[in-house]
């Protein structure tokens, strides 16, 4: 891994009309992102023999079929011809109208809507309908991997994940973030990996699967070995633990001395993984001060949710397309949020989103920290300046998409209306099955919280 990042456009970013620009503000009409044509470009070339996308098979247009058929029956009775015309008219109307309908999985919570027209604001596949705020990088860089790379990685990782020592990782990472961490580490190939927050050791195990021979530093108030007394846990032999009685917080460690002990001279060869539920702005500043460049935040909570101030909350700004909110109770956003709350456990309505004085940033206008034990009210001016600061040091910002759509995973937790489009979209059960995802328990897909990868550098003078 070197300091140069190959510039490829993110699959969820709009195409730039300016030469040399790889990422612009997300174009969201009415806070909704349009379907991206490059999502198809980044998808693997379909195998005609596979069952991945039967719906995409090329078929003759119905009007052409009708004209051919009518030419054959032109010698028949005029009354019969009129009846045939009427029949084709009805069929054509139904065909045209049905293309706008959505097929609902019997397991999908939206099936509880009942009879009547299917509302677009409740659609399971309507990802980003309420906006997806995106932290803007200072030079428009983005990651070098594509959807094809993610799909290829999924096929490999499913088999690895099935061998995990901690089968029930409740309150820890599920499949989506386990894959994201493994994929990022595997792609960057760091010489050293640091994790802040280890819990039972599942994330340590994931990092070890990505880089079998590289050292790991694990920081956690409680040593993962303590959990072995009650059930499965993972302790790594090639890991230095700042845990238990040896615990030191990430921001208090003398990283110069630690790097020297591990023979690390190039800090761009180090990957930091934060799963410690601390103010992410604080962690960002601490990592930058120590000279680190590559960071992953596991719980990048959406605005109005979570127990700490996150990057996504910081970058949820009115001046960024896909960001900003209204606390007006009769607004379209309020009505949509109220309806979606019936179907998604972590959906947030405006009553939960907004605090006193219609403060919606962070969690009701609060900068939360330390597992929700510190709730500091902040002004919008300070919140705005935090966003500007992040942009000034940000080289790359990439949110891990959900692995697959909810009709495939049967997840009921996060609201797709506030998430980027999934790697495997709804309706692609053939691909979902071929990757081995159908073998996993549905519960492992309920832990998605917008994991994010960052590359940072010092502010430019």
Q: Verify that 93 and 137 share a domain, yes or no.
A: no
Supply the pLDDT for residue 98: 41
Supply the pLDDT for residue 171: 86
Supply the pLDDT for residue 451: 98
User: Could you give the count of Cα atoms lying within 13 Å of 115 in the half-sphere of its Cβ?
Assistant: 0
Distance of CA 148 to the CA centre of its chain: 16
What percentage of residues in the chain have a pLDDT greater than 90?
Answer: 69
Query: Does residue 171 lie in a domain region?
Result: yes
Q: Verify that 260 and 133 share a domain, yes or no.
A: yes
Q: Which two tokens stand for residue 171?
A: 């309150």
Supply the pLDDT for residue 90: 57
Q: Residue 240: phi, psi to the nearest 5?
A: -95, 120
Q: Verify that 77 and 156 share a domain, yes or no.
A: no
Average pLDDT over residues 74-102: 52
Residue of higher predicted confidence among 22 and 125 = 125
Query: Does residue 386 lie in a domain region?
Result: yes
Number of residues that this document lists for the chain: 461
Q: Which of 100, 116, 150 is the last residue of a domain?
A: 100
Query: Does residue 436 lie in a domain region?
Result: yes
The Cα 396–Cα 311 span in angstroms is 13
Residue 111: band (very low, low, confident or very high) from pLDDT cuts 50, 70, 90: very low
Query: Does residue 52 lie in a domain region?
Result: no
Q: Verify that 407 and 365 share a domain, yes or no.
A: yes
Residue of higher predicted confidence among 31 and 169 = 169
Is residue 70 predicted with pLDDT exceeding 90? no
pTM: 0.76
Average pLDDT over residues 130-154: 95
Residue of higher predicted confidence among 309 and 107 = 309
Q: Are 252 and 228 in contact (CB under 8 A)?
A: no
Residue of higher predicted confidence among 62 and 168 = 168
Per-residue pLDDT of 304-337, as tens digits, reads 999 999 999 999 999 998 899 999 999 999 999 9
Average pLDDT over residues 440-454: 96
Distance of CA 380 to the CA centre of its chain: 26
Please state which of the ranges 44-58, 153-167, 334-348, 424-438 shows the lowest mean pLDDT.
Answer: 44-58
Average pLDDT over residues 285-301: 98
Supply the pLDDT for residue 83: 60
Supply the pLDDT for residue 88: 60
Q: Verify that 219 and 75 share a domain, yes or no.
A: no
Residue 27: band (very low, low, confident or very high) from pLDDT cuts 50, 70, 90: very low
Per-residue pLDDT of 249-277, as tens digits, reads 999 999 999 999 999 999 999 999 999 99
Quick one: 25 exposed, middle or buried, by C-beta within 10 A (0-12, 13-18, 19+)?
middle
Distance of CA 233 to the CA centre of its chain: 27
Residue of higher predicted confidence among 201 and 47 = 201
Supply the pLDDT for residue 85: 60
Q: Verify that 293 and 416 share a domain, yes or no.
A: yes
Per-residue pLDDT of 178-192, as tens digits, reads 999 999 999 999 999
The Cα 2–Cα 17 span in angstroms is 29
By C-alpha distance, which of 194, 175, 174, 198 is closest to 185?
194
Q: Which two tokens stand for residue 271?
A: 């990957």
Is residue 118 predicted with pLDDT exceeding 70? no
Where b means 16+ CB within 10 Å and e means fewer, 58-67 reads eeeeeeeebe
Q: Verify that 181 and 247 share a domain, yes or no.
A: yes
Q: Are 294 and 181 in contact (CB under 8 A)?
A: no
Q: Verify that 350 and 436 share a domain, yes or no.
A: yes
Q: Which two tokens stand for residue 80?
A: 């019969």
Q: Verify that 67 and 194 share a domain, yes or no.
A: no
Q: Verify that 201 and 333 share a domain, yes or no.
A: yes
Query: Does residue 11 lie in a domain region?
Result: no
Mean per-residue pLDDT over the chain, rounded: 81
Per-residue pLDDT of 6-26, as tens digits, reads 333 333 333 333 333 333 233
Residue 64: band (very low, low, confident or very high) from pLDDT cuts 50, 70, 90: very low
- Say how many domains are in the chain: 2
Q: Which domain, by its residues, includes 74?
A: 59-100
Q: Verify that 206 and 145 share a domain, yes or no.
A: yes
Query: Does residue 6 lie in a domain region?
Result: no
Residue 72: band (very low, low, confident or very high) from pLDDT cuts 50, 70, 90: very low
Supply the pLDDT for residue 78: 57
Query: Does residue 65 lie in a domain region?
Result: yes
Q: Verify that 161 and 93 share a domain, yes or no.
A: no
> What residue ranges in 222-325 does DSSP mark as E strands?
239-243, 270-274, 294-297
Query: Does residue 22 lie in a domain region?
Result: no
């Amino acid at each position: 891994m070197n300091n140069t990042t190959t510039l490829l456009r993110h699959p969820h970013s709009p195409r730039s009309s300016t030469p040399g620009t790889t990422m612009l503000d997300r174009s969201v009409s009415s806070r909704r992102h349009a379907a991206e044509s490059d999502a198809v470009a980044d998808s693997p070339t379909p195998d005609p023999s596979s069952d991945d996308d039967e719906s995409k098979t090329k078929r003759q247009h119905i009007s052409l079929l009708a004209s051919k058929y009518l030419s054959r029956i032109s010698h028949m009775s005029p009354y019969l011809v009129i009846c045939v015309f009427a029949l084709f008219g009805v069929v054509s109307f139904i065909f045209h109208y049905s293309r706008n309908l959505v097929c609902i999985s019997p397991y999908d919570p939206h099936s509880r809507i009942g009879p009547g027209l299917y509302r677009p604001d409740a659609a399971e596949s309507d990802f980003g309908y309420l906006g997806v705020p995106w932290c803007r990088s200072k030079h428009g860089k983005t990651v070098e991997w594509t959807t094809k790379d993610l799909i290829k990685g999924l096929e490999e990782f499913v088999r690895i994940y099935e061998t995990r020592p901690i089968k029930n990782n409740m309150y820890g990472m599920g499949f989506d973030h386990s894959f994201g961490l493994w994929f990022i580490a595997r792609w960057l190939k760091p010489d050293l990996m640091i994790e802040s927050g280890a819990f039972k050791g599942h994330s340590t195990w994931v990092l070890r699967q990505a880089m079998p021979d590289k050292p790991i530093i694990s920081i956690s108030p409680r040593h993962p070995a303590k959990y072995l007394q009650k059930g499965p846990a993972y302790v790594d032999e090639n890991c230095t633990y700042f845990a238990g009685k040896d615990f030191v917080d990430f921001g208090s460690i003398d990283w110069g001395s630690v790097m020297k002990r591990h023979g690390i001279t190039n800090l761009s060869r180090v990957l930091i993984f934060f799963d410690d539920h601390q103010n992410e702005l604080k962690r960002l500043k601490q990592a930058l001060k120590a000279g680190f460049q590559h960071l992953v935040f596991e719980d990048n909570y959406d605005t109005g949710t979570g127990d700490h101030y996150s990057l996504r909350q910081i970058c949820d700004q009115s001046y960024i397309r896909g960001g900003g909110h209204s606390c007006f109770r009769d607004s379209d956003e309020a009505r949509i949020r109220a309806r979606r709350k019936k179907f998604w456990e972590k959906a947030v309505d405006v009553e939960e989103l907004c605090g006193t004085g219609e403060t919606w940033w962070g969690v009701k206008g609060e900068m939360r920290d330390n597992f929700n034990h510190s709730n500091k009210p902040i002004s919008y001016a300070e919140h705005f300046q935090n966003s500007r600061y992040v942009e000034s040091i940000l080289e790359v910002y990439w949110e891990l998409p959900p692995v697959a759509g909810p009709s495939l995973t049967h997840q009921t937790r996060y609201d797709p209306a506030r998430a980027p489009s999934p790697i495997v979209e709804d309706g692609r059960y053939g691909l979902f099955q071929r990757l081995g995802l159908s073998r996993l328990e549905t519960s492992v897909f309920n832990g998605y919280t917008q994991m994010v990868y960052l590359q940072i550098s010092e502010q430019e003078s």
